[in-house]
């Protein structure tokens, strides 16, 4: 009997556990370690931050779902992974041993790398449900006393979509409140151009997003390095292509939301051979760590090098479909190892993204996510908002039901009119002992 432990119960970890349970024989054990018992649908956080959703609408108690699926659950959270001993030390001092470990922790939010950044200091965040609820309180204060707004993503950030989403969602919420005319808005980003997204653009995201910014009277600063944030004031250096300072900006604000850089979580950061210097997990083409082959990783915690050099550092995002591809490949590869065979599945790492703008939105498809691509497409319209709302409801239903069937293929891709994408590549069979 094999024991497979999934560390983390976010988008990747929860589906990972369901897919493993579906694919493995009943005698094998699947367990989940998570910090807390609730799953929160992070893509809804921009809506929470303006009061369009509450906590109850986007959170699910995983304990009864996992129990029904016969998946072990340890909500104490992990203190440290010990790869040599093949154990996960939990925060209460106990430990869980494993035959195979899937790290799906998501990132640690590196607010501390910039003075004054983060919800405990001078900027808001939509990275966590608690942050979004705090941002909602700040939004109410902004409506009561309008003033300048700064939204964006700092140097080293790798998740730009939510910054764009929140910019336009906030614009819509302020228009609904009839105070948008008293709220100048500036978008501040480490990207070299609007619509870069950490992917060197997808289709005409540059043109689409610049056009949306102009139509909504939003100014922007690219190649931006945030030096510090004081109460009501953000200090930003705008760099030229050669890395020199083109212009220094002092941006007064009544409200600011800046996405931080990510790093690996403390439970894995600094383990030689397992992670890179930022704490992201190193994996091969099978999602498997080369130094500790019984460890796999999926999602935002995976190390992916930047696409190219930029004046200000930007990371590569891990979109939902890309994570699903990682999950499906990992589930198959662990299943083969349990059977004494070699891993043979690779995630295709295709990107499909629906960016909601409150009453419209932008969608893009990149196959694969990393250039050069076979498909490089983007589009915009009111249908994107409708598709995003449908996706939220559909995915939350799947989490509650404990099912692992692909969610993008059944909803988003149909709405986009795109043929079904193959999630994984399967290599020629090499059925020799692999465990």
| Structure confidence at residue 106 (pLDDT) | 94
Q: 103 and 69, same structural domain? A: yes
Helix, strand, coil: what percent of the chain each, to 5? 30, 25, 45
Q: 256 and 133, same structural domain? A: yes
Max distance between CA atoms of the chain, in angstroms, equals 68
Q: 296 and 228, same structural domain? A: no
Residue 360 inside a domain? The answer is: no
Overall domain count for the chain = 2
With beta carbons less than 8 A apart as the criterion, state whether 362 and 209 touch.
yes
Closest by CA to 55, choosing from 63, 47, 67, is: 47
For 229-272, write each residue's pLDDT tens digit: 999 999 999 999 999 999 999 999 999 999 999 999 999 999 99
Domain that holds residue 137: 129-261
Last residue of a domain, one of 261, 280, 303: 261
Q: 234 and 164, same structural domain? A: yes
Q: 272 and 256, same structural domain? A: no
For 288-339, write each residue's pLDDT tens digit: 999 999 999 999 999 998 888 899 999 998 887 788 889 999 999 999 999 9
Q: Residues 302, 79, 329, CA angle at the centre, nearest 5°?
A: 30
Report the DSSP beta bridge partners of residue 224: 238
The domain that holds 245 is classified in CATH as 3.50.50.60
Q: How sure is the predictor about 412, in pLDDT bands with cuts at 50, 70 and 90?
A: low
- Mean pLDDT for 194-216 is 92
d(CA 89, CA 79): 6
Q: 144 and 253, same structural domain? A: yes
Residue 416 inside a domain? The answer is: no
> Residue 118 above 50 pLDDT?
yes
Last residue of a domain, one of 261, 287, 307: 261
Q: Give the helix/strand (H/E) hosting 74.
A: strand 72-74
Residue 435 inside a domain? The answer is: no
> Residue 421 above 50 pLDDT?
no
Q: 135 and 253, same structural domain? A: yes
Catalytic residue annotation: 159, 353
For 333-385, write each residue's pLDDT tens digit: 999 999 999 999 998 877 778 889 999 998 888 877 777 877 788 888 998 89
Q: 276 and 217, same structural domain? A: no
With beta carbons less than 8 A apart as the criterion, state whether 197 and 191 touch.
yes
Residue 359 inside a domain? The answer is: no
Strand ranges for 209-327 from DSSP E: 218-221, 224-230, 233-239, 245-252, 255-259, 262-263, 295-297
d(CA 312, CA 224): 7
Q: 153 and 89, same structural domain? A: no
The domain that holds 97 is classified in CATH as 3.50.50.100
């Amino acid at each position: 009997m094999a024991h497979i432990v999934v560390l983390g119960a976010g988008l990747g970890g929860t589906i990972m556990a369901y897919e493993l349970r579906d694919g493995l024989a009943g005698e094998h054990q699947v367990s989940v370690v998570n910090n807390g018992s609730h799953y929160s649908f992070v893509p809804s956080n921009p809506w929470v931050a303006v009061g369009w959703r509450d906590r109850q609408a986007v959170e699910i108690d995983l304990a009864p779902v996992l129990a029904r699926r016969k998946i072990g659950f340890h909500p104490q959270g992990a203190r440290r992974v010990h790869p040599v001993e093949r154990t996960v030390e939990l925060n209460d001092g106990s430990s869980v041993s494993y035959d195979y470990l899937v790290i799906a922790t998501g990132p640690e939010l590196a607010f501390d790398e910039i003075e004054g950044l983060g919800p405990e200091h001078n900027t808001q965040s939509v990275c966590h449900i608690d942050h979004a609820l705090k941002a909602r309180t700040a939004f109410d204060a902004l409506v009561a006393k309008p003033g300048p707004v700064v939204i964006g993503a700092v140097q080293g950030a790798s998740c730009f979509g939510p910054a764009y989403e929140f910019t336009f969602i906030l614009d819509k919420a302020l228009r609904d409140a009839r105070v948008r005319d008293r709220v100048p808005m500036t978008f501040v980003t480490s990207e070299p151009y609007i619509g870069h997204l950490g992917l060197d653009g997808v289709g005409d995201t540059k043109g689409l997003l610049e056009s949306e910014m102009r139509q909504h009277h939003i100014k922007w600063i690219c190649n931006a390095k945030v030096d510090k944030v004081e109460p009501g004031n953000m200090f930003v250096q705008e760099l030229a292509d050669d890395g020199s300072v083109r212009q220094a900006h002092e941006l007064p604000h009544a409200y600011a939301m800046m996405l931080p850089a990510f790093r690996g979580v403390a439970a894995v950061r600094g383990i030689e051979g397992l992670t890179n210097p930022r704490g992201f997990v190193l994996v091969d083409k099978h999602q498997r760590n080369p130094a500790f082959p019984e460890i796999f990783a999926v999602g935002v915690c995976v190390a992916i090098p930047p696409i190219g050099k930029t004046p200000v550092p930007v990371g590569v995002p891990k979109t939902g479909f890309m994570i699903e591809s990682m999950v499906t490949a990992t589930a198959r590869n662990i299943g083969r190892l349990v059977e004494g065979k070699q891993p043979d599945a690779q995630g295709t790492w295709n990107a499909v993204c629906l960016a909601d703008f409150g009453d419209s939105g932008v969608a893009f498809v990149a196959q694969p996510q990393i250039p050069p691509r076979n498909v490089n497409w983007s589009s915009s319209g009111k249908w994107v908002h409708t598709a995003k709302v449908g996706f939220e409801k559909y995915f939350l239903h799947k989490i509650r039901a404990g099912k692992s069937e692909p969610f993008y293929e059944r909803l988003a891709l149909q709405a986009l009119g795109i043929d079904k994408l193959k999630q994984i590549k399967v290599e020629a069979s090499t059925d020799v002992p692999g465990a």
